[in-house]
Amino acid sequence: MHNESLISIFVFVMLGILVVTIVLKKLKQPYVVAYLLTGILLGPY
């Protein structure tokens, strides 16, 4: 039960990273910027 919630959160974050990485790669930005931006967008605060 608890693991399903954890897995769904993990999948959601990974999909967010994928989307932001694709967008920023077209803008010729490094992967680190994509990871940081995803953390800011999907973070708990």
Query: DSSP secondary structure string, the chain?
Result: -HHHHHHHHHHHHHHHHHHHHHHHHHTT--HHHHHHHHHHHHS--
What is the pTM (predicted TM-score) of this model? 0.71
Q: Work out the burial of residue 16: count CB atoms within 10 Å of its CB; fewer than 13 is exposed, 13-18 middle, 19 or more buried.
A: middle
What are the sequence ranges of the domains in the chain? 2-42
pLDDT one digit per residue (tens) for the chain, 45 residues: 566 788 888 898 889 888 888 998 899 989 898 888 888 888 877
CB atoms within 10 A of CB 42: 14
Nearest residue to 44 via CA among 13, 11, 19: 13
